Structure 1
Amino acid sequence: MLSRLLPCALAIAAPLTWARADAPKAAAPAPAPAAAAGAGATSDSAKSPNAGSVSIRVRVPLADERFGPVPVATVADEVITVDDLRELAAITHQDRAEGMTGKADFTKLVERLVAVRTIVAEARAIGLDDLEEVKKPIADNKERIRFDLVRKHASKDVTVDPAEVKRLYDEARREWRIRSVFFGQEAEAKKFTAALAAGGEFDALAKKAAEDKVARSGEGSQWIRVSEIQVSVAKEVEKLAPGKATAPLKAGPGWTVVRLDEKRSVEDEALRAKIESTVRGEAVAKALQAYYAKLKKQLVRIDTKLLRAVSFDKPKGGFEALRKDRRVVARVEGAKPVTLGEVAESLARPLFHGVAPAQEQGKLDKQKQDALDALVSKRLVTIEAERLRLDDTPEAKRRAAEFETNLLFTTFIDRVVIPEVKVTEAEDRAAYEKRKDEFKYPAFYRLEGLAFQDAKNAQKALKSLQGGTDFKWLRSNSDGLVPEEEQVFRLDATQTISARAMPEEFRKALAGAQDGDVRLVASKDQHYVVRVAQFTPESVRPFEEVRPEIHKDVFGTAIARALDGWVEKLRDAHEVNVYLVTSP
């Protein structure tokens, strides 16, 4: 996918620390100095971060993941890598990937990344990363990443049995063409099958049963997947030869008789993929259960007697006392123990209306084991992630960094940028004046008409109407009319319809028409004589009505403008180095 989207290479000017000929070959480059206010620099080639340094130009294939960690820019301590650029490029050019060829594209993308990281650097500088509203989501995200990676590790050896997938697919793709009749009473169903046995024809008997209102019968036979048929019914139909019918079968609130007409198996790659995904999901679930059970056996000791003895639905001393209960209900080697109070808190957290309704229904005691398992599982995931050093993996670092960057960026906007943005009524009104055409009510019509099978009869009717013939009389005495149920577009003078809801040919023909005007309209081999019973011209919606919508757009534009101002201002406070080369 990426090789298709990103078939190009980047030229990056990388700083190379200057070393004298007599210097030790293994000497490491000196660390970059900390950014100083007013020392910002942005250039097409990299600003050397080390004294005595020179630059080399490196061509980096954008689709080659081995080059992912290569920096394309830095903002203070924030590093923007090829991975970051590749991800943004794939998102930005998803719908026009083939057109992404110019270096200017990448320059703009890098500038967007630099702008975001500049804001993030300032967010850190003013301490937004120390806010609880930032720290907690970051911690929660870290837990989610750990869970995903432990899950990935636990299921890494899971394989799918092709034979099992084929068996399930072959079963699922079977289809039958059947005709069925549904009866409310078993006696009527038996009368139907008796008539069949006596030589009656299925379709004729089904039609009569429907007319007698003793059965419901669809129109003809239809193809249906075997998997969609009630199991007990499918078992009986399976026994039939084509053309034969079942005995009365119990189906929901009534009885059904089914005739099998034909069998087939249909190739369906989407169905095969869905089955394979389901089989893999079940295998993964089984592997995870085994993995969890093994960890639990090795590391967890649960006080089953205590858990069983304590009622969360009818706790002694009340539920609030149970929330403070520090008795240990589970010990996890390498982690803090789980207390009854934690279990109580876990049970109460999702209950928006408090615990009382759940207690009255006896739900909490039924859920206490699951709540304990969830708490234990969280501890086991942390232990296993630490054992496997999953926090240090590139995926964990990338996902954590992306989340933190996005959170700090939006927090800066919410806390710093938005409070400074003010939009006046005059600005909203100016935007409204520029965009009035976007806020129009469409024209509305009440129409009556006649639909003819040929143009000649339609022209004749048009002349009659223009000559003063009564419309109702014409409807009753015209030749070649199209039956109502076959008309492409039904006209009813009692109904109001907007111009936008009409077929295009009607909209064009009626343009400029007023009350009482008659028009001829051709639509899909049908010819309409249309009279305008009432016309309401389009109108502009008043400012007061659309101001909330306008204000949202104007306010968003003002935020973007203010954010651009902040980025421009902050580039002087946070050292910026761009290593992407734009020269040939």
Structure 2
Amino acid sequence: MIFDSLAFSRPAAPLVAACALFGAVAAGSQMELPPTTVAVVNGEAITIEDLEKSLETLHGEAETAQRSPARLERLLFKAVNDVLIGQEARVLGLHEEPPIPETLERNRRRLALSILEREEIEGPAEPGDDEVTAIFEERYRRASFHVLTAGDFEGAERILDALRAGVDIGTVAREQSIDPYREQGGLVEGVARKDLQLVIADLVFTLAPNEVAGPVQTDLGWSVVVAQSFQGPDPELFEEARPLLERLARQRRESTLRQELLAGLRSRHAVWIDRDLVDSISPVRRRDGRLTAESPGPETVVARIGDEITLSGDEYAVALERRWRTIPDEEAARAAGPIILENLINERLLLAEAYRRGYHELPAVRRALHRLETDLVVPKYLSSVLAAGVEVSEEEMRAYYEETKAGLKRPPRVQLGQITVPSLEEAESVAAALRGGSDLGWLAERHSTDGLRDKGGVKGWSVVRPGGAGLDAALLAAETGATLDPVPGDGDSWVVYKVLAREEQGVYSYEEVSGNMREAVFRREFTAVLDRFIQSARSRSEIEVREDVLAALELSGTQEVEDGSGHGGHGVHGEG
């Protein structure tokens, strides 16, 4: 909502004095204004991207194109309010309170890494047609072969020996194999490589026709395969498979480019590892049976990459524990440790390179972090500064109760008549008859299929649930004698209800709703304080709206956002 001037009973003493500091805030935090700037608040820009992200946050991406002047004005009003509150919060040092600095640093790293990935990996990884075709030829190549499976390795060796001795493959399959294909001699015909178990595919497509190989462990046991014939892929499947093939080709290119980049970075950024510390972090069995890693502490350093980037013992232990949760065996957990460490070091190698290139200080990154900081400090300011100054007295709560108690009615008790029928058509006919004055009991005896048929259709007394939908909402509004529209019953049945009697239950006592009264009065007082703050802040600030950019935004399509950081909504202020 866009706040009007609201009276409130107590002054917010720190606010007026703090607002005088806005000039200093602007001077200390001013950045170069981007070309997409829509408004400038004390030297701080609000951009098209800020408004786009607000649209996505409030309404979802589907509505980002709905840019009526009124909608954009509300968004801009709220964005200006966010900036003003953020500036005041920074004056008070709220941006320095945990966990905000840590959150910003994590996002700085994430953004710097994403830029490096885009520049060195994602951008150059666009696959060519020849790569896409090669993956199609590989994944959709077809094979016909025999597979015979035993429950253990020794059984599979006996199958292999029998085949090599020249025993008929069909006989061996029927007598010794546990595979579902045993009744057809183990024959699997014309299956594409992509549809086979990886271990089987890797074996079959290395064989020549009639060549025997195995045993290999599969999901059924131990298998022996005999290649029969091979065919190329069905060309008619290419266009249908193209999107998947392009994704796979891109993934392969990205993997290759990443490995090449990492190999080069190893020579550019020295990597030091504290092997003693790494070896000291062993899996520990918890009472619930899961494995955990005891951290050597956040101040310890497991690895150092270049001059700026480190991997703490705490970070390494967290990564180990996340992986060890899925590993029941301690030896397997220990074996996973070097892989996890290598992945963490590789990530930090990329981060060190991103920092070396200065990606963490790019204007787009600084703007994204500033927006995120605003998102974090606004709710903190609202709760710890503005809300902390709002007090609600018993007298205010009781006065508000007296003002509103007419709307605090208890839900009524109703006595219902009920007739259940098998079809909507019959239910509508019964409802029309009731409205025309027909007797409930007579209609229930003739039509109803439920247990109230022999009771004249009388259901008895019940309390209507407040705030409900459907039947409950209809009962809250229905008068005595009203027949409701049919509603679905159990299965395919339909139910017609008639309100036979209605008893009002009076209003809730003050004691029963005092908590609601406190919340309502607090919300009213807080809204007034917030409104006064916004008006005071606006009156003391320099706010420039670039009407030409705003007008162009109303006519344009969805803008492309330069980074992944958002500027979401914050509570009540400025929402329409």
Q: 1:124 — aligned with what?
A: 90
Q: 1:158 — aligned with what?
A: 125
- The answer on 1:388 being equivalent to 2:357 is yes
Distance (Å, rounded) in 1 between the aligned partners of 2:54 and 2:428: 62
Alpha-carbon deviation of 1:420?
0.9
Q: Deviations over 1:95-135 (max 9, x none)?
A: 76777454x66555444333222222222222223334332
- The answer on 1:448 being equivalent to 2:415 is no
Q: 1:369 — aligned with what?
A: 338
- Note the 1:327-338 alignment, pairs <5 A: 330-335=303-308
- Note the 1:1-400 alignment, pairs <5 A: 37=20, 68-69=34-35, 71-85=37-51, 87-88=53-54, 100-102=67-69, 108-155=74-121, 156-160=123-127, 280=250, 283-285=253-255, 287-296=257-266, 298-301=268-271, 306=276, 310=280, 312-313=282-283, 322-323=296-297, 330-335=303-308, 342-343=312-313, 346-347=316-317, 365-366=334-335, 368-373=337-342, 375-377=344-346, 379-400=348-369
Alpha-carbon deviation of 1:88?
4.5
- Which blocks of at least 5 consecutive residues in structure 1 are unaligned? 1-34, 41-66, 174-225, 236-250, 253-264, 485-490
Amino acid at match of 2:398: A
Q: Is the 8 A contact 2:418 2:458 kept in 1?
A: yes
Q: 1:24 — aligned with what?
A: none
Q: Counterpart of 1:412 in 2: which secondary structure?
A: helix
Q: Counterpart of 1:124 in 2: which secondary structure?
A: helix
Distance (Å, rounded) in 1 between the aligned partners of 2:354 and 2:428: 81
Q: Cα gap change, 1:362/1:462 in structure 2, threshold over 3 Å: closer, same or farther?
A: same
Q: Deviations over 1:320-345 (max 9, x none)?
A: 8954996x76453334665xxx3356
Q: Cα gap change, 1:171/1:361 in structure 2, threshold over 3 Å: closer, same or farther?
A: closer
Distance (Å, rounded) in 1 between the aligned partners of 2:423 and 2:71: 57
- The answer on 1:561 being equivalent to 2:528 is yes
Q: Is the 8 A contact 1:72 1:81 kept in 2?
A: yes
Q: Is the 8 A contact 1:76 1:121 kept in 2?
A: no
- Which blocks of at least 5 consecutive residues in structure 2 are unaligned? 1-17, 24-32, 141-191, 202-218, 221-234, 286-292, 451-456, 552-576
Q: 1:206 — aligned with what?
A: none
- Note the 1:386-465 alignment, pairs <5 A: 386-424=355-393, 425-426=397-398, 429=401, 433=405, 436=408, 445=416, 447-451=418-422
Distance (Å, rounded) in 2 between the aligned partners of 1:121 and 1:163: 54
Q: Deviations over 1:363-405 (max 9, x none)?
A: 8635533553355245323321123221343431231121112
Distance (Å, rounded) in 1 between the aligned partners of 2:194 and 2:500: 50
Alpha-carbon deviation of 1:274?
7.1
Amino acid at match of 1:412: Y
Distance (Å, rounded) in 1 between the aligned partners of 2:336 and 2:544: 55
Amino acid at match of 2:35: P
Q: Cα gap change, 1:547/1:367 in structure 2, threshold over 3 Å: closer, same or farther?
A: farther
Q: Is the 8 A contact 1:343 1:371 kept in 2?
A: no
Distance (Å, rounded) in 2 between the aligned partners of 1:462 and 1:552: 48
Amino acid at match of 1:393: L
Q: Cα gap change, 1:522/1:107 in structure 2, threshold over 3 Å: closer, same or farther?
A: closer
Q: Is the 8 A contact 1:68 1:82 kept in 2?
A: no
Distance (Å, rounded) in 2 between the aligned partners of 1:419 and 1:557: 14
Alpha-carbon deviation of 1:154?
3.1
TM-score (norm 2): 0.51
Q: Is the 8 A contact 1:322 1:344 kept in 2?
A: yes
Amino acid at match of 1:388: R
Q: Is the 8 A contact 1:444 1:536 kept in 2?
A: yes
Distance (Å, rounded) in 1 between the aligned partners of 2:341 and 2:283: 16
Alpha-carbon deviation of 1:417?
0.9
Q: Deviations over 1:464-521 (max 9, x none)?
A: 984976955x469xxxx9xx9xxxxxx99699897977689x969x95466xx99996
Q: Cα gap change, 1:276/1:556 in structure 2, threshold over 3 Å: closer, same or farther?
A: farther
Q: Counterpart of 1:151 in 2: which secondary structure?
A: helix
Q: Cα gap change, 1:445/1:559 in structure 2, threshold over 3 Å: closer, same or farther?
A: same
Amino acid at match of 1:415: S
Amino acid at match of 1:112: K
Q: Is the 8 A contact 2:417 2:440 kept in 1?
A: no
Alpha-carbon deviation of 1:347?
0.8
Aligned residues, how many? 414
Amino acid at match of 2:530: L
Q: Cα gap change, 1:286/1:580 in structure 2, threshold over 3 Å: closer, same or farther?
A: same
Alpha-carbon deviation of 1:458?
6.6
Q: Is the 8 A contact 2:419 2:496 kept in 1?
A: yes
Alpha-carbon deviation of 1:419?
0.4
Q: Counterpart of 2:379 in 1: which secondary structure?
A: helix
- Note the 1:539-558 alignment, pairs <5 A: 542=508, 555-558=522-525
Q: Is the 8 A contact 2:309 2:352 kept in 1?
A: no
Q: Counterpart of 1:449 in 2: which secondary structure?
A: strand
Q: Deviations over 1:170-209 (max 9, x none)?
A: 9999xxxxxxxxxxxxxxxxxxxxxxxxxxxxxxxxxxxx
Distance (Å, rounded) in 2 between the aligned partners of 1:564 and 1:158: 52
